Amino acid sequence: MIIFVYWLFEMVFKMTPELAEICGIHAGDVYLRKRGGKMELEIGGSLEEKDYYDGYVVPFLNNLFDINIKAKRFSKGTYGLITFNKEVALRLFDLGFPFGKKSQSVEIPKKILQSKNKLFYASFLRGLFDTDGHLGFRKCYGKYNEFKVRRHHYPTIQIVTISEKLTQGIGLMLAHLGIKYFVYGYKPKKPNEKYTYRVIINGNKRLEGWMDLIGSKNSVKFSRYLVWKKFGFCPTNLTLEQRESILTGKMDIYSIGL
C-alpha cells in the first residue's frame, strides 16, 4: 500500500519540461499567498510584457493545470494574472516554493536540479530569464573600431537575485549546459538592502548558445536579440513597438541617436 501511494504521488507530481518552466517563472516573478483556507498565486510583469502573458503564460498555465484564467492590468501599473486555484498553489508548494516572501530563500526544486536533465534545466532557465532576467548590449571603450565604440553591440545576459541557493543552482545548470558564466556579488550600501548576486553571461557566442539551448518566449527580451542578430547591434532604451518596427522595416535603425 505504501509503495502504491508513493508511486501515485510520483505520477501526479512527475516533473516535465512544462512544469520546470513554470517553476522558473515562479522563481523569477511569482508570489504565493496563503490566507486562512485560501491560496493565491500571482504572476506579474511590466505593461510592455502584455503579449507574453496573454499569448504564452496564460495559455501555458491553462493547458498545464486544466484551468481557465485570464491576465489583466493591475492597479499598481503592472500586468499579469492571479489564480486562487489550490491545485496550482499546492503543486508549487510541494515542489519546495514557500508561501509568503521568497526572494532570499527561493531555490531550484530538487526534482529539477538533481535530475541532470538538460531539457528540464533549459526550461527552468527560460522561465526565469523571461520573467526576471535581462538582455542588454553595450559599447566598447578604448582603442576599438568605430562600430564597436559607437554602437551597442556587445551582449550581456543578467539574472539578479538575493538568494544564494538560487545563484548556486543556476550556476550548476549553466555549467551542465556548457554555458560559461560569472557571478558578481554586490554588498548593500543601505541598511535595508540585501546582498545581491548577479549571474552574468557575456559575449556573442554565449548569447547564441543561450538562444540555441534555452531561448526566450518573451517578445520584450527576444526582440532585442532579433535586432542584434539582424544588424549586429541593438540600441538601448527602445520600446518593444520600436524594435518591432525596426525588424519590419518601418523604422530606420540608423536614424536613432547614438
CA atoms of 105 and 117, how far apart (whole Å):
23
Which residues are CB-contacts of 82 (< 8 A; sequence separation ≥ 6)?
40, 41, 42, 43, 69
Which three three-digit cell numbers place residue 120?
Answer: 528540464
155-178 pLDDT, tens digit per residue, is: 999 999 999 999 999 999 999 999
What is each CA distance from 217 to 81, 172, 185, 233, in whole angstroms?
Answer: 17, 23, 28, 21
Residue 186 sits at φ, ψ, to 5 deg, of -120, 120
pLDDT of the chain along its 258 residues, tens only?
A: 433 333 333 434 589 999 999 999 988 877 788 877 788 888 889 999 999 999 999 999 999 889 999 999 998 889 999 888 888 888 888 888 888 766 667 899 999 999 999 999 999 999 999 999 999 999 988 777 888 899 999 999 999 999 999 999 999 999 999 999 999 998 888 888 888 999 999 999 999 999 999 999 999 999 999 999 999 999 999 999 999 999 999 999 998 866
Task: Give the strand order in the sheet containing 79-83.
Answer: 30-35, 38-45, 79-83, 72-73
CATH of the domain spanning 2-255: 3.10.28.10
Residue 132 sits at φ, ψ, to 5 deg, of -135, 10
